[in-house]
Structure 1
Amino acid sequence: MMDATKYHVGYYPPPVEPGHVYEWPRKDHIEKAPIWCSVDLRDGNQSLIVPMSLDEKLEFYEMLVRIGFKEIEVGFPAASETEYEFLRKLIDENRIPEDVTVQVLTQCRDHIIRKTFEAVKGAPRAIIHFYNSTSVAQREQVFKKSKEEIKQIAVDGAKLVKKLSQEYEGNFLFEYSPESFTGTEPEYAVEVCNAVLDVMQPTPDRPMIINLPVTVEMSMPHVYANQIEWCSKHLKYRDSVILSSHPHNDRGCGVADAELAVLAGAQRIECCLFGNGERTGNVDAVTLAMNMYSHGVDPHLDFSNMPAICETYERVTRMHVYERTPYAGSLVFAAFSGSHQDAIAKGMTWRKEKNLHEWTCPYIPIDPHDIGRTYDADVIRINSQSGKGGIGFLLQQNYGYNPPPRMREDLGYRVKEVSDHQHKELSVQEVLYVFESSYLNHDAPLRVKAAHYIQNPDSTITANVTVTINNGEPIDCSATGNGRLDAVATALEQATGMHFTLVHYSEHALDTDTDSRACCYVGLKWASGKETWGCGTHTDIIVAGVRALVSAINNK
């Protein structure tokens, strides 16, 4: 039996100020993208069972640059020889683009700060990110120090960082984090941050980053947003401060924390691709950016080749992008439900017919093509739950076939029967096989060997047909009808003794070139009430129509 009494609310809401009304709840959308800082190579890397090698880190770093990250935390160089060597490789081999700033992490400890500057010396542009924990739990249980003593650790760290930045070659910017911010009293967190700011003396042209991390999620996202807005209003040097958020995902609310933090005044987000990070992970950069994109906000990050990004991520981290991960997962656009497939297919058709630029397709929040996905492989997926709309859409999208609605329904039952029997999803090629083997150009047991037509004075058509049944002796027959297909149908009825009614005929071009094949569909209704369907193709539309008729007869 689970015992909830051992837990209690462990976060600290901002002080209540008379007359104060929070502004962020009145905002309903994010208007522009924040500054993005990838922490994949630090937080993400230290969460891996097997951390990335030097070459793997370099490949990941180059991918982050291609995606468009302008700030990249490359490691904790004082804590790992691999991370030290990696940082030196970036600097010594001039691998840092002019518009990219690398970031290094250090605790507020003398020897760690000194080694960090040794690692980062000569950097064209680097953020020195220093931190110490300020939470009630850490003060009481880990450090056993007072508020003043904890604040002094931050101040001493800031003084040493400022001193060394003037002694070492390089272009240095600064970031401070009161680690475990979510377990810290907001007024105390601001007190510590302001003490650090007094040391660093940022200016509008050389601002400093103050990062308020969700080191552990301890509250609902709106509480964090309140903390961000309150701190934003009480930080000193506010026009010289870039307010940053670093959400983790312990409660599964990392994306909500980040989005509400931006509404509340955060100007920068530290994040990892696909939410990688310690414990439950860091906030997912892909989801955050694509959420903005889906609302018409340019995130300034390029995920147009999502499959390649996923492949690289999985290979070098040995992690797996869960199939239902928003935007990136292999199944996030997949519709197996028949009703969903039908709505998607109709939405796609509507968009094409109306020549729409705006994306409004049911069930699909963004155009899969925008991130390098395809409709056939990623959207309409076929199994025993699928319906005629999606199956018909796939045939039309990939092979040009556009069977009529009742024929699609018949095909849907056939496809579901195959999927159900084999207990698997069917590929679009397998769907095509079911369609063609069920309907296309069937010439057994009945086969039309030849057909010739005479135009009569009364505008009717006489068809002279040669037919075989079960490869028997040829039978010659003729009949008159309102058109060629009607005349052939009547002749076949008379020759075979069958009785059916032609209930559907349609045609379209199957190809786009000058030698295009015609594609015809025929539906027949028999005396028993049963309907059968056939499809015929040929460069001659008359031949295609006869083939469809014969296929429908042979499907009796």
Structure 2
Amino acid sequence: MSFDHRKYQPFPVIDKPDRRWPSQRIEKAPLWAAVDLRDGNQALIKPMSVAQKRRFFQMLVELGFKEIEVGFPSASQIDFDFCRALIEEDLVPDDVHIQVLTQARQDLIARTFESLKGAKNAIVHIYNATSPTFREQVFCVDKAGCKAIAERAAGWVKEEAAKQPETHWSFQYSPETFSATETDFAIEVIDAVNNVWRPDQGQRVIINLPATVEVSTPNVFADQVELVHENIQYRDDVIISVHTHDDRGCGVAAAEMAVMAGADRVEGTLLGNGERTGNMDLVTAGMNLYSQGIDPEIDFSRMKDIVALVEEITDIQTHPRHPYAGDLVFSAFSGSHQDAIRKCLARYQEGDIWNVAYLPIDPADVGRRYEEVVRINSQSGKGGVAHVLERDFGIDLPRWLQQELAGVVQKDAEEDGGEITSERVHRRFNSDYLNVPMGWALRSYDLNRNNDQVQAQISIGDDSQAVTLLSGRGDGAMSALVEALNRQIGSEVKVVSFDEYSLGDNTEANAMACVRVQIGDSVQSAVATAADTTAAALQAILSAVGRLEEGSERQLIIENG
């Protein structure tokens, strides 16, 4: 097997020391042209039916696209029929231009105009390949012959359009393989076409510059576009468009840099479907603008609906890490990521400028739920575990207990090797910390203060068991209970950590207490909720001691039963 890099050579850079595009900013959305129904369709194993095209077209209209390439009617009967259906059934809004592609041949151009009869607004897009590879090896023509093909086709388009004056026509020309063409020759061909169409006399003209195959880094493509922008005739009267592909994985970057270099319009497909590695992705390009505070003028708020329809019609699954649209792009499994997201979301207020760690946009803007953001697996830490408990169950834990619970959950995830749901985290929290051991439920308490001391009478036990009475004295209710337990079990009980919280009005309990108790070398944490903070604190201590006693040979002395 050969893997020999020497058969390839780098694409030449462009000597343009006066390039201006690197210092430019994109401040408004370009014109968008969706080519899913033509370029995207021809890349499918099973091309779309007329019914599928109709559904896809309707979605593109609803999203806000004003220029939609609907097919190649001179080459496909399905495309021809679809084009006729759109026009005859009046499915094209008045502000939408339908676009069709045709090769630079007279009979195909005539057939194309036949498919558009009666259209309100239509774009006729002609092309011929201009690069040395195509001139020399595919069509066997010199530069003059290549330019003549484009000039003749431009003339035929102008003649056919004159026969249907009721339609508002736009003419579009692509020097196919522009990115691999000598830029000065591409400009020469473009000028020849424009001299036929005369955009300076009112004809709407689009000059489309395709990276038919992406052959260079995106900065080189931007240089090529800037050269066209600066040097073609009638520049103020034409729309410069770009049509990039993703062979090098830089289709969006090339299109963005091209806009910085002077392009007015961008062609692409939703989610990047297209031949080989795909077309420029309209979702990514549009949402990139959105993330910078620029209105993309396309509504991507129902991202899941877009993905679902594209997947259904193209039979191509969206990668879970696809920018903005993938199932996992807003999901954080890493503990440090989760902790940062949780802290930022806690500070974010509606109306603030979005500034949340690891989330370039607010997931809610594209119809995603915050429940999808932090997800738990073996890589997660205390921040993620705390976040899902707080987000889904309203449980706020102290840092020390977050760390302890995270270790428990992480062990479960490592054993299972997969994701742990928030419901499972909650069940583990309940079983390990909130459940009351048998015989250790707080039944009642009575506190009497005498000077600086509190005398506590506390009864514990379950309904089916005898009640245990504990009596102790201390600075407060907790210290009184600890004193009573020290005496009753014959070992020193220490409360090494304690936090208490007031709960919201929508919960049955009003207070929650979290404790960590030590007896000898053994440590146990517990949580309790109750109607008041004192009851919650007493129950949490009892639960922690009860769990420690379950594994001990010590027996609680029953004073009264």
TM normalised by structure 2 equals 0.93
User: Contact (CA 8 Å) 1:519, 1:541: kept in 2 or not?
Assistant: yes
Distance 1:101-1:64 versus aligned 2 partners, 3 A rule: same
2:85 is aligned with 1:89: yes
Superposition pairs for residues 340-379 of structure 1, below 5 Å? 340-352=337-349, 357-377=352-372, 379=373
1:538 to 525, 530, 539: 530
Three-state SS of the structure 2 residue aligned to 1:429 is helix
Listed as ranges, the gaps of 5+ residues in structure 2 are 549-561
Superposition pairs for residues 298-337 of structure 1, below 5 Å? 298-337=295-334
1:154 to 123, 146, 150: 150
2:128 to 105, 129, 132: 132
CA–CA distance in 2 between the matches of 1:449 and 1:517?
Answer: 15
Aligned residue for 2:52?
Answer: 56
Give how far 1:106 is off.
0.8
AA aligned to 1:128 is: V
- CA-to-partner distance for each residue in 1:202-260, whole Å, 9 max, x for gaps? 13854310001000011111111110000111111111110000000111111111111
Aligned residue for 1:247?
Answer: 244
Give how far 1:461 is off.
3.1
- CA-to-partner distance for each residue in 1:283-312, whole Å, 9 max, x for gaps? 111111111111111111111121221111
2:9 is aligned with 1:32: no
- CA-to-partner distance for each residue in 1:453-478, whole Å, 9 max, x for gaps? 13324254332222349975432221
AA aligned to 2:193 is: V
Distance 1:548-1:150 versus aligned 2 partners, 3 A rule: same
Distance 1:164-1:356 versus aligned 2 partners, 3 A rule: closer
Q: Any runs of at least 4 consecutive aligned residues in structure 1 with deviations exceeding 6 A, and if so which? A: none
Give how far 1:508 is off.
2.9
User: Contact (CA 8 Å) 2:441, 2:543: kept in 1 or not?
Assistant: no
Three-state SS of the structure 2 residue aligned to 1:44 is helix
Three-state SS of the structure 2 residue aligned to 1:282 is coil
Q: CA RMSD in A?
A: 2.1
Moved more, 122-131 or 54-63: 54-63
Give how far 1:114 is off.
1.1
AA aligned to 1:370 is: D
Distance 1:155-1:437 versus aligned 2 partners, 3 A rule: same
CA–CA distance in 2 between the matches of 1:301 and 1:553?
Answer: 61
TM normalised by structure 1 equals 0.93
2:63 to 67, 79, 83: 67
Aligned residue for 2:513?
Answer: 521
2:463 is aligned with 1:437: no
Three-state SS of the structure 2 residue aligned to 1:224 is helix
Three-state SS of the structure 2 residue aligned to 1:96 is coil
Aligned residue for 2:386?
Answer: 392
Superposition pairs for residues 188-267 of structure 1, below 5 Å? 188-203=185-200, 206-267=203-264
2:468 to 462, 466, 475: 475
CA–CA distance in 1 between the matches of 2:522 and 2:288?
Answer: 50
Moved more, 540-549 or 205-214: 540-549
Superposition pairs for residues 441-452 of structure 1, below 5 Å? 442-452=435-445
Moved more, 201-210 or 337-346: 201-210
Distance 1:204-1:365 versus aligned 2 partners, 3 A rule: farther
Identity between Structure 1 and Structure 2 (%):
42
1:462 to 447, 452, 455: 455
CA–CA distance in 2 between the matches of 1:132 and 1:430?
Answer: 61
Three-state SS of the structure 2 residue aligned to 1:334 is coil
- CA-to-partner distance for each residue in 1:344-370, whole Å, 9 max, x for gaps? 111222335xx7711121121111111
Superposition pairs for residues 284-303 of structure 1, below 5 Å? 284-303=281-300
CA–CA distance in 2 between the matches of 1:71 and 1:512?
Answer: 53
User: Contact (CA 8 Å) 1:462, 1:479: kept in 2 or not?
Assistant: yes
Listed as ranges, the gaps of 5+ residues in structure 1 are none
CA–CA distance in 2 between the matches of 1:433 and 1:535?
Answer: 13
2:544 is aligned with 1:549: no
Distance 1:66-1:485 versus aligned 2 partners, 3 A rule: farther
Moved more, 168-177 or 273-282: 168-177
User: Contact (CA 8 Å) 1:131, 1:176: kept in 2 or not?
Assistant: yes
- CA-to-partner distance for each residue in 1:54-87, whole Å, 9 max, x for gaps? 2222221121122221111111111222211211
CA–CA distance in 2 between the matches of 1:530 and 1:301?
Answer: 61
Distance 1:529-1:369 versus aligned 2 partners, 3 A rule: farther
Give how far 1:534 is off.
1.5
User: Contact (CA 8 Å) 2:443, 2:461: kept in 1 or not?
Assistant: no
Aligned residue for 1:405?
Answer: 399
